[in-house]
Amino acid sequence: MVRRGAVICVEGADKVGKSSLALKLSESLSKECFKVEYHKFPKRETLIGTLINGYLSGRNAFNDRAIHLLFSADRWDVSDQMEKQLQSGVTLILDRYAFSGVAYSAAKSTMSFEWCKAPDSGLVKPDLVLYLTASDSVISTRNGFGDEIYESLDFQSKVKAAYETLKDDTWKTIVSERNIDDTLVQVLPLVKETIEKVSSKPIEKLWI
């Protein structure tokens, strides 16, 4: 029987170092001969992703609910591919996922958590969520902060509060204010342990 891969998700507010960690994690696992695929959400270069990219850069506007559904559609668009990869033993490293969808939309206060979760219900559920945090003073001085529409400290604090309500026992909070290699050393054993632990377990589904 093929052992399934694990779903490892990196989450957090803007500029906390998610992509750096997720890429290093993928690279490091590949070097150790684990089968790994990296997925960054939103995808940005697909048909749906192009619309999302225009919205984030402020070039086109969308109604709050419409953009929420586009972010979700972006995930559903790769969900079959993700399930196939998992079943063939590939571990998925997700750079943002449905938790971003809910945290950022709920932070707008125009949509309830329940409404925000509904479109992502049934997607594969991450086995481990690495939730990165950093103080406002660290985040606001990181390169590029403020370039996209959600990147203000006021909105980010609402996003962080929304993330708090999504945490369950699969979440591990990591302070990400220093060297990313130190963070990698910190999370790697946990990731490997998770890959081993879930390999013979069924794939779980989110929010059903």
Which residues of the chain form contacts with Mg ion (CB under 5 A)?
14
Residue 34: which of ligand TMP, Mg ion, none does it interact with, CB under 5 to 8 A by kind? none
Q: Which is nearer to ligand TMP, 143 or 200 (CB)?
A: 143
131 binds, among ligand TMP, Mg ion, none (CB under 5 to 8 A by kind): none
- Report how far residue 6's alpha carbon sits from residue 104's, in angstroms, rounded to the nearest whole number: 25
**Which residues are registered as beta bridge partners of 39?**
94
For residue 72, the minimal CB distance to ligand TMP (Å) is 7
- Both tokens assigned to 187: 């999370």
Nearer Cβ to Mg ion (13/129): 13
> With 0-12 CB in 10 A as exposed, 13-18 as middle and 19+ as buried, what is 61?
exposed
Q: CB 102 → ligand TMP: shortest distance, Å?
A: 8
Partner in contact with 150, chosen from ligand TMP, Mg ion, none, beta carbon below 5 to 8 Å by kind: ligand TMP
Closest distance to ligand TMP from the beta carbon of 198 (Å) = 23
Residues that bind ligand TMP (CB under 6 A): 14, 41-42, 56, 71, 96, 100-101, 104, 148, 150
Q: Which is nearer to ligand TMP, 79 or 87 (CB)?
A: 79
Measure the CA–CA gap between 18 and 193, rounded to whole angstroms: 20
Question: Which residues, other chains included, contact 154 with Cβ-Cβ below 8 Å and sequence gap of 6+?
Answer: none
Tell whether omega for the bond before 42 is within 30 degrees of 0, i.e. cis: yes
Report the residue number, 5 or 101, with the smaller CB distance to ligand TMP. Answer: 101
Smallest distance from ligand TMP to CB 86, Å: 19
DSSP secondary structure letters along 9-68? EEEESTTSSHHHHHHHHHHHHHHTT--EEEEESS-SSSHHHHHHHHHHTTSS---HHHHH
Name the residue nearer to ligand TMP (CB basis): 36 or 104: 104
Pairing state of beta strands 171-175 and 128-133? parallel
